[in-house]
Amino acid sequence: MTAIHLTVHENAADFLAAAGAFLNLSEAENSMVSISAARMVSGPTGDDADTYLASVEHEGAVVAAALAGLAVAPLARRIAPPGLVDIGPAQGLPRLGVSKVMLHSKVSDPVKLAALRTLAATFRSVAKLG
């Protein structure tokens, strides 16, 4: 049985050097971790001092990465990762504006065009629910 290795990184630059490629493999799921760590590298603040940055390696490859600390991010409910707390006006924060999605295409093939129209209709129907 091979062992796993936990590394707690001293700073965001070391964390990204170790785990950046792993995080980019599943960019959508890991964007909050990647963006937060990149911001800590490019514009560190005093609030970053207590942030926990760790990666887990198995057989020489990063298999997990974590960033823990206080963070606030404007996310649509439908894309927020499980476990995030939805905060807003109840905590004294302003309401966020709505976002618009626009689909541009030069597709002329009838089958592909029908698929794009279906996709656009789906976006519109979901927008009406929100």
Tens digit of each residue's pLDDT (9 = 90 or more) over 9-22: 888 899 899 988 88
Which residue intervals of 26-109 are DSSP H helices? 27-42
Q: Which tens digit of pLDDT belongs to each residue from 36-52? A: 888 888 888 877 777 88
Residue 86 is assigned to a structural domain of this protein? no
Rg of the Cα trace of the chain? 20
The reply to whether 60 and 106 lie within a common domain is no
Give the pLDDT band of residue 104 (cuts 50, 70, 90).
Answer: confident
The reply to whether 23 and 58 lie within a common domain is yes
The reply to whether 9 and 71 lie within a common domain is yes
The reply to whether 65 and 120 lie within a common domain is no
Angle at 30 between CA 27 and CA 32, to 5 degrees: 115
More confident residue, 105 or 84: 105
| Domain that residue 69 falls in | 4-75
Residues in a beta bridge with 61: 58
Residues 93 and 51: their CA atoms lie apart, in Å, by 23
Spatial CB neighbours of 39, under 8 Å, sequence gap ≥ 6: none
